[in-house]
Structure formats: C-alpha cells, structure tokens
C-alpha cells in the first residue's frame, strides 16, 4: 500500500480537499495524510463543498508537517507555493510533486463559496488523475 502526504500552508482547505479526494479515489490502495507548515484548522467551507460532492472530511484535523517526517511516505504533494518552499526534508525516498491551486479563502467574501467550489473541482480532477496514473499498477496487488 502506498502512502501520500499532501502539504499546504495552513492545512485548512486545499490540502484537506486533496486528502479527501485522494483517499476517495485510492480506496484501500493508499493511506493519505495532509498537513501544513503553519496549520490553523479545517475551513468549514472546505468541509461544506466536499460534502456537496459526497466526500466527508468533517473528521479531518489540521496537523503540522513535522508529525509525518518520520513516516514512510511514497509521495509528497505540495498544493501551494509556500508549502513547497518551506517543505522539510523527508528522509525517505518520497517522490516530491508540486501542483499549486489558488487559495479559495482569499476570495472576496461574496465570491468565497463559489471559489471553494471551483478549486474543489480542480482538486477533484487532479486527484483522480493522480491516482489513476500513479496507483493503477497497485490494482489487485
């Protein structure tokens, strides 16, 4: 089974949504974690828009990346430029992957929910493609 760690600055929205989708698409082929370089709680809008698409992340917690440094991680995915720049060294053979998504929490309040949905859909597409490409060989293994 593969292990995936998704990193963002606050571990509040983008990394949480990616965590939810990656686990959803991977099923029992992977264990997915998410963390931040400066975690500050799961954004309720992230939980809301994921629930709209049938993925429950209400049980997720916002964690610091240091909690995962000693775990055997296969893939580390940074989903924002700040996390990429501050990402710690992982003493494993983890493959480092970067795909930046816009921070929906920075949208004007009147547009914020719509922006969360846009970013959610982008993350969903990326996550499904990632699992199909990286874990397809794990089917039945």
Cβ contacts of 100 within 8 Å, gap of 6 or more: 78, 79, 80, 81, 84
Residue 61 falls inside a structural domain:
yes
27-72, pLDDT tens digit by residue? 999 999 999 988 999 999 999 999 999 999 999 999 999 899 888 9
Question: With contact defined as beta carbons under 8 Å apart, do 104 and 45 qualify?
Answer: yes
Residue 36, CA distances (Å) to 39, 43, 89, 114 in order: 5, 13, 14, 24
Does residue 66 lie within any of the structural domains? Answer: yes
140 found inside a domain: no
Q: Can 8 be counted among the known catalytic residues?
A: yes
Work out the mean pLDDT of the chain and round it to a whole number: 90
Residue 44, in any domain of the structure:
yes
How many domains is the chain built from? 1
**Active-site residue (options: 38, 69, 87, 107):** 87
The answer to whether position 138 is within a domain reads no
- Can 87 be counted among the known catalytic residues? yes
pLDDT in tens, 84-115: 556 555 556 889 899 999 999 999 999 999 99
Higher pLDDT, 138 or 128: 128
- Smallest CA-to-CA distance from 79 within 136, 10, 2, 3 is with 10
Task: Examine residue 141 and state whether it is found in any structural domain, yes or no.
Answer: no
Q: For residue 97, give its domain range.
A: 2-133
Please report whether residue 79 resides in a domain.
yes
Catalytic residue chosen out of the listed positions 4, 5, 6, 8: 8
54 included as an active-site residue: no
Confidence of residue 1 (pLDDT cuts 50, 70, 90): very high
Among 80, 83, 123, 135, which one carries the catalytic annotation?
A: 80
Q: CATH number for the domain including 28?
A: 3.40.50.2300
> Is 54 part of any domain?
yes
pLDDT band at 139 (very low <50, low <70, confident <90, very high): very low
């Amino acid at each position: 089974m593969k292990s995936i760690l998704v990193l963002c600055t606050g571990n509040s929205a983008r990394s949480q949504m990616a965590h939810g989708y990656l686990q959803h698409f991977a099923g029992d082929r992977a264990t997915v974690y998410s963390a931040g370089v400066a975690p500050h709680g799961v954004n309720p809008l992230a939980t809301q828009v994921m629930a709209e698409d049938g993925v429950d992340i209400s049980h997720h917690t916002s964690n610091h990346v240091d909690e995962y440094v000693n775990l055997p991680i296969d893939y580390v995915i940074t989903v924002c430029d700040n996390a990429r720049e501050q990402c710690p060294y992982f003493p494993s053979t983890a493959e480092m992957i970067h795909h930046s998504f816009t921070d929906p929490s920075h949208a004007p309040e009147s547009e914020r929910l719509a922006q969360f949905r846009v970013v959610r859909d982008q993350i969903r597409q990326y996550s499904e493609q990632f699992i199909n490409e990286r874990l397809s060989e794990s089917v039945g293994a």
